[in-house]
Amino acid sequence: MKKLTAFIYLACLPFFFSSAYGQNKEGQIVYTETIKFDIDLPEAAKAYADLIPKEQKSKNILFFDEADSIYKPYEGGDDEVIERGEAGGMMTMVIQRPEYQVYKEMNKEMMLTKQEFMGRAFLIDSPFENHNWKISGESKKILDYNCIKATLQDTSKTVVAWFTPQIPVSNGPGSYHKLPGMILELDINEGKRTLLAEKVTLTPNEKGTITKPKKGKKVSRAEYEKIVEEKTKEMEEQMGGSGSFQIQIRN
């Protein structure tokens, strides 16, 4: 009789863990994003180097379930404008954080990105990127979750992710996903941009929380990149010698 009892107990363990993990497939995660500035100032502007912040922090939130997700700003914030005038003229520095949302349809592996650029909103429809992750044996805890390290291969960026199988949804902030668990931390280009989960809430989302962004001009990824390149060049030409410049944060 004792042997039979022990067998039933052990057989039920996998069901217990599977059931617990199954409840962790819907919720909200708040991430803190830190971007470090690496700016090569023109000679005329180097006197103002002390005005430029070394980094900028913001918060974003991921609403998710097994079928889809939306990643968007958690806290609103106006552009930061720094002005300084001297006898030689006026210097204006604008640190601009454009609106950025990423909607994902997990089953279709499609992504709709709402990206603001120079006051215009664009909707970029694209398939999931073919992320080639290499999972290592390293692990650590983030909040109360056991996380495993993975490195993105075959890309110009250096991307390190920490994901947890305790939230068994292959998703993460922004355009990152395709790991066997939720990404709770990202390090892009050796700390130049980092995202870290500061709060995880595993509760059902209210109806209508996860919806596609609607307002914006529909373009392909290639079309959007061309617009950015052309407008950036145009802006640089207009601002050349004007004593002002802009810093634009692009996702």
The pLDDT tens digits of the residues spanning 41-91 come to: 666 666 666 666 777 888 999 999 999 999 999 865 555 555 555 555 555
> Around Cβ 147, how many Cβ atoms within 10 Å?
23
- In whole angstroms, give the CA distance from residue 230 to residue 238: 12
Tell me: pLDDT of 21 over 60: no
Could you read off the pLDDT of 99-153 as tens digits, one per residue? 889 999 999 999 999 998 888 899 999 999 888 899 998 999 999 999 999 999 7
- In whole angstroms, give the CA distance from residue 63 to residue 169: 12
Task: Please name which of 97, 123, 102 lies closest in space to residue 37, comparing C-alpha atoms.
Answer: 97
Could you read off the pLDDT of 204-228 as tens digits, one per residue? 999 999 999 988 999 988 999 999 8
CATH numbers and ranges of domains, the chain: 23-248 (2.50.20.10)
- With contact defined as beta carbons under 8 Å apart, do 31 and 195 qualify? yes
pTM of the model: 0.78
Task: Please name which of 122, 126, 124 lies closest in space to residue 108, comparing C-alpha atoms.
Answer: 126
The whole-number average pLDDT for the span 14-38 is 72
In the prediction, which pLDDT does 119 show? 81
- With contact defined as beta carbons under 8 Å apart, do 104 and 62 qualify? no
